[in-house]
């Protein structure tokens, strides 16, 4: 484990799968947090330098550090001969994504991006109904990421409030999960329009915004994001030709049940209900992704989240920030000569005035 913030959650989930994983080493620059991790998880090796892990007998390195470190640390671990699990956002530009893909291929190892919400039981049911041909073509979807983040959140790591540290705000750090779920169901967006501001907390990065997306299958989606909702919730709603699917309101698990799948025709509703009676969902969230990663490494399953999936999320971020900056509707895919191909951070730093309210 590299990083002990959300990394501690990762480690605890690995420990629920003792037949598949053993957590044996930790890298953390903060001595107090490192000692806490050792006490909680019980690892035999600890260090404050990533390179020290490369001499250990490890199969996989899980990186959960601040966003600014993801690219360099993942690159180093792959080149040192380790499989890598990497928290979101995987990179801070499309150029970094393309370089990670090159390094992964050259290393012969695998990089597994984290998108644990994909494996919620509710979203699993939706994908099951899609596979059975019971949903029809999609028309429109809505996503809401309405969370509350104030001084307590930012004081635990002021990098979270800066472009340099976090590569963005509510789009890059919070809504990135629900946007991944939208694209997992609807496919690749072909155009993006976005607006954003920092009027909730007044730090450098956006904490309020909307994103409108068009997809190649004709579907449209809207996403509203705020870090100033006193009642926290996340929710997805998809309208298909043959059913409407709506998720629950759990802010940190929008793919989890309860989900509803409804149709106005009683016979069609019965078919939907009957199809779900015998459906047995697989493990969800982090443990669900880790089970699937082990299967992929053992040659018993497909890679649960690919670098291509992660690149799509970074391309969506790139397009959204360019739209915020210019007011344009952005057509996708983006080419390597796009002004934000190598990153949006420097050009976005002055977009919002730092004026705490």
For residue 153, how many C-alpha atoms fall within 13 Å in the half-sphere facing its CB? Answer: 15
What is the overall mean pLDDT for the chain?
Answer: 96
Q: Rounded to whole angstroms, how far apart are CA atoms 25 and 37?
A: 10
- Burial call 169-180: b when 16+ CB within 10 Å, e when fewer: bbbbbbbbbbbb
Percent of the chain with pLDDT over 90: 94
pLDDT digits (tens, 9 = 90+) for 121-148: 999 999 999 999 999 999 999 999 999 9
pLDDT, tens only, 15-45: 999 999 999 999 999 999 999 999 999 999 9
Nearest Cα residue to 157 out of 33, 314, 13: 33
Give mean pLDDT, residues 214-242: 98
The answer, yes or no, to whether residue 221 has pLDDT greater than 60, is: yes
Each residue's pLDDT tens digit, 157-187: 888 889 999 999 999 999 999 999 999 999 9
Which pLDDT does position 251 carry in this prediction? 95
Residues 179 and 313 sit within 8 Å (Cβ to Cβ):
yes
What pLDDT band is residue 156 in, cutting at 50, 70 and 90? confident
For the cut 90, the answer to whether the pLDDT of residue 350 exceeds it is no
> What's the mean pLDDT in 313-339?
98
Report the distance separating Cα 279 and Cα 285, nearest Å.
Answer: 18
Q: In whole angstroms, what is the distance from residue 341 CA to residue 233 CA?
A: 32
What is residue 234's predicted lDDT score, i.e. its pLDDT? 98
Burial of 108 (C-beta count, 10 Å sphere; 0-12/13-18/19+):
exposed
3-state helix, strand, coil in the chain (%, to 5): 40, 20, 40
Give the confidence band of 351 by pLDDT, cuts at 50, 70, 90.
confident
pLDDT at 100: 98
Q: Which residues pair with 223 in a beta bridge?
A: 143, 211
* For the chain, percent of residues with pLDDT exceeding 70: 99
**CA neighbours closer than 13 Å in the CB half-sphere of residue 198:** 21
Residue 354 confidence class, pLDDT cut points 50, 70, 90: low
Q: Residue 352's pLDDT is what? A: 81
Do β-strands 189-197 and 208-215 pair in parallel, antiparallel, or remain unpaired? antiparallel
pLDDT score recorded for residue 353 = 61
All structural domains of the chain, each given as residue ranges with its CATH number in brackets, are 6-116 (3.40.50.720), 118-281 (3.30.360.10)
- What are 236-251's pLDDT values in tens digits? 999 999 999 999 999 9
Indicate if the pLDDT at residue 149 is higher than 90.
Answer: yes
**DSSP secondary structure letters along 24-82:** -EEE-S-HHHHHHHHHHH--SEEES-HHHHTTS--SEEEE-S-HHHHHHHHHHHHHTT-
- Model confidence at 261: pLDDT above 70: yes
> How many Cα atoms are found within 13 Å in the side-chain-facing hemisphere of 125?
25
pLDDT recorded at residue 356? 46
Chain segment 281-316, per-residue pLDDT in tens: 999 999 999 999 999 999 999 999 999 999 999 999
């Amino acid at each position: 484990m590299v990083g002990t913030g959300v990394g501690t959650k990762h480690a605890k989930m690995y420990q629920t799968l003792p037949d598949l994983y053993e957590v044996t080493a930790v890298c953390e620059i903060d001595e107090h947090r490192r000692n806490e991790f050792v006490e909680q998880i019980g690892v035999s090796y600890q260090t404050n330098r990533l390179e020290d892990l490369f001499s250990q007998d490890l199969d996989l390195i899980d990186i959960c550090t601040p966003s600014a470190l993801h690219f360099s640390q993942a690159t180093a671990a792959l080149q040192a001969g380790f499989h890598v699990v990497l928290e979101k956002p995987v990179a801070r530009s499309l150029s970094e994504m393309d370089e990670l893909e090159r390094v992964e291929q050259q290393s012969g190892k695998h990089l597994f991006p984290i998108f644990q919400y994909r494996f919620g039981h509710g979203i699993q049911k939706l994908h099951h109904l899609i596979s059975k041909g019971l949903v029809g073509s999609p028309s429109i979807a809505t996503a809401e990421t309405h969370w509350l983040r104030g001084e307590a959140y930012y004081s635990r790591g002021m990098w979270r409030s800066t472009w340099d540290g976090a590569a963005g705000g509510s789009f890059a750090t919070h809504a990135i999960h629900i946007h991944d779920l939208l694209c997992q169901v609807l496919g690749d967006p072909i155009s993006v329009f976005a607006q954003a501001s920092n009027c909730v907390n007044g730090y450098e990065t956006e904490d309020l915004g909307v994103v409108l997306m068009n997809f190649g299958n004709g579907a449209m989606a809207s996403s509203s994001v705020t870090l100033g909702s006193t009642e926290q919730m996340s929710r997805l709603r998809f309208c298909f030709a043959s059913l409407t699917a709506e998720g629950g309101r759990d802010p940190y698990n929008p793919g989890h049940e309860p989900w509803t799948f409804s149709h106005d025709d009683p016979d069609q509703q019965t078919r939907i209900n009957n199809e779900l009676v015998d459906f047995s969902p697989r493990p969800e969230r982090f443990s669900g992704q880790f089970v699937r990663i082990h299967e992929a490494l053992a040659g018993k399953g497909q890679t649960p989240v690919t670098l291509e999936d992660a690149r799509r999320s970074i391309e969506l971020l790139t397009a959204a920030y360019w739209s915020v900056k210019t007011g344009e509707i952005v057509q996708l895919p983006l080419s390597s000569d796009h002004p934000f191909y190598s990153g949006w951070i420097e050009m976005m730093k002055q977009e919002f005035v730092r004026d705490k309210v």
